[in-house]
Chain A
């Protein structure tokens, strides 16, 4: 029975991308920090994003020292922590949102390690389908990488513009669900321009793997999302959604609707 649930959990992301591919559509992947602005609104936001047409949602696990995040997500993380949102509460939020679309945990390593040996299974039971660990690059820790790779969740791995071609191939081989391309050097955050070398970097990732490819970091506006959607299988938008959620759930959902339309070219 256990192995049955393992398959169902991690395959949901692959299924979603296969459906999108058949329909010739690109995935819209919003990011939210769990517990931001507060627990109740976090649940409402997740449900609102699903209604706005998200295909997959990334749920950030708050961490005290988010070295890969810019000011917006760092502040949201801090706010969530101040309200007592930890790994267990993140799972509760996911469970309460009860979404039909796949959920990917976006986390730093330490809160997951402290979640215990059954952390990934508990996440799967709560309704998560994938996990992305921002500070666990390939080769950093084979034992813990295997824990993620062999677990019940799809193990989403990251590649960067600085990643050499051979390494991209090796990274993709250990991942599942999709590959997350960090679009640029730097931390998460809203930027005016897409990096000029993005098409070239995307081509390098394509040459390295057949997994679906999502691009994130710095994408905030519908026209940017549309441009990225022409290159990739999915578009991740984080800081812009989080910033809108600071204002209200409605503002974030309305931005999500606009981004969905942008990606679909409407």
Chain B
């Protein structure tokens, strides 16, 4: 599908819109990644780390009570059971191994909800690398436990006080660090965003989600799912679970964005649903922006979806019609959060709760024979304090 495209693009989207200073580092990363993919010892080390440290393969759980509620056979891909509690570590392990190959001993990362920061701090501790995580001050408040986890594992967490003090500004700040330290530092971007080769590389490291899930669903049901559903902020768990299914034309791929306080409210994070193509953080992709090209602040109840951009491959899948993107409000996500907890004994991350809520809301589209694969991208422990403070059980 993309064979005639330049390798740094997904259709018209992607590219490398960065200061000149970073171009040689991106060239080096691209070359090193290509070499690593061909290198048997790299693949073996990655695979060993994924099985003995991350805990892969992650299980595919059936969800009998949710299935009954929805009226379809819902299966849950359990990325919440990975070490550190989310899919993020799949990518972090791969990129730390690459950084080691490149001889870079200092790692920087941005984080929103803190899941990517925790995953990065974790793998850096495992390999004895210096780790600096940029995090918006507002997110540090919302996710204080993850800040503590990162510090406990020896990472430095730098509060970002510019702009909206969330993931967008943490990413900008990480790029500023990288422009200054690029010769000895590797920047581990946590999603399928940023300049090439990041979107493709992060997708490849996350693609194991879909590869495993596709085989697991086939083994359990003897057929492919009718629908694959995942939440989308930057979009790494969604790209990870979608990728193996892209050639399966009969499988619908559905990304669930955060509609925040409503798509008409101006306070949401639905870049694909409501944005327009633009350039942010090194890539051309759908973007929340005003008519003069200034980035519009995003909003979501979940820090991990609170980002005005989205991975360029999602923009391509949207425009080509291969995937559909929908949006779920904060209050609906809260319902999804409780629904999965009560029906299946699984407390999902607030990000994941958006995908859960959409499946519950759209139940009428499926018949009892349909198989629905829902990616449980992370667990909700990090969100429990925030949700408790909202008093949802007080009535």
B21 within 8 A of A: yes
Determine the residue in chain A with the shortest Cβ distance to B282. Answer: A135
C-beta contact mask, A152-177 vs B, less than 8 Å → 1, else 0? Answer: 00000011111110010001000000
A140 within 8 A of B: yes
Kindly state the separation between the CA atoms of A212 and B21 in the bound complex, as whole angstroms.
20
A86 within 8 A of B: yes
Q: Interface centre among B20, B172, B282, by most A CB within 10 Å?
A: B20
Contact B21 A182, beta carbon cutoff 8 Å: yes
A70 to chain B, nearest CB (A): 8
**Interface residue count on the A side (C-beta < 8 Å):** 43
Partner of A137, one of B19, B162, B179, B281: B19
A207 within 8 A of B: no
B289 within 8 A of A: yes
Contact A114 B16, beta carbon cutoff 8 Å: no
Residues of chain B having any CB pair with chain A under 8 Å: 15-25, 162-163, 168-169, 172, 175-176, 179-183, 278-282, 284, 287, 289, 291-295
Give the dominant DSSP class at B's interface.
mixed
Determine the residue in chain B with the shortest Cβ distance to A139. Answer: B16
Residues of chain A having any CB pair with chain B under 8 Å: 62-68, 70, 74, 78, 81, 86-88, 108-115, 134-141, 158-164, 167, 171, 182, 185-187
Contact A65 B21, beta carbon cutoff 8 Å: no
Kindly state the separation between the CA atoms of A140 and B180 in the bound complex, as whole angstroms.
21
Kindly state the separation between the CA atoms of A159 and B17 in the bound complex, as whole angstroms.
15
Q: Taking A111-B293, A114-B278 as contacts, is the C-beta distance between A163 and B20 under 8 angstroms?
A: yes
Find chain B residues with CB under 8 A from A86 CB: 292, 294
Partner of B25, one of A109, A115, A158, A162: A162
Contact A81 B294, beta carbon cutoff 8 Å: yes
Contact B20 A65, beta carbon cutoff 8 Å: no
Contact B20 A137, beta carbon cutoff 8 Å: yes
Contact A87 B179, beta carbon cutoff 8 Å: no
Kindly state the separation between the CA atoms of A158 and B24 in the bound complex, as whole angstroms.
14
Determine the residue in chain A with the shortest Cβ distance to B161. Answer: A71
Find chain A residues with CB under 8 A from B281 CB: 65, 67
Find chain B residues with CB under 8 A from A135 CB: 17-19, 279, 282
Q: Taking A112-B293, A114-B289, A187-B179 as contacts, is the C-beta distance between A137 and B279 under 8 angstroms?
A: no
